[in-house]
Amino acid sequence: MRFLLDQDVYAATTQFLATLGHDVVRAAQVGLSQADDEDLLMVAKNERRLLVTRDRDFGGLVFVKALGAGVLYLRVLPSTQHAVHAELERVLTTYTEEELAYAFVVIEPSGHRIRRLPTQ
């Protein structure tokens, strides 16, 4: 799968996804370290990448402003990182990239919730 990682995503998560064989790009690598959230969503959508973030504000942008792009919202702390990574891997093996491209997924140590977006 193809991912764009927000600047707030831990380096360990970047390594974890790359180790699983995914195409991972950090926002800073493509000049987006200071980009606003709407721009990050648009880049992710245009490049057909899933946005990975720890910023809960993306829910409002995706649902209220209808800026549709697949978002994986990680509710993670350093102390819960291993459990969240295990759940993230479960999400990535359960759903296809196409399914995730039209979803907002909250990933927590104890599980995940997925909410489908309208297809565009």
Give me the residue spans of the domains in the chain. 2-116
Contact 118, 96 (CB under 8 A): no
Confidence (pLDDT) at 104: 92
Q: Give the tokens for residue 59.
A: 């829910």
Dihedral angle of Cα 115, 110, 85, 26, to the nearest 10 degrees: 40
Kindly report the CATH number that applies to the domain delimited by 2-116. 3.40.50
Cut 0.95: pTM above it: no
Span 87-111, mean pLDDT? 95
Residue 60: per-residue pLDDT: 72
What are the backbone dihedrals phi and psi of residue 23, each rounded to the nearest 5 degrees, phi first? -85, 105
State the CB neighbour count (10 A cutoff) for residue 48.
13
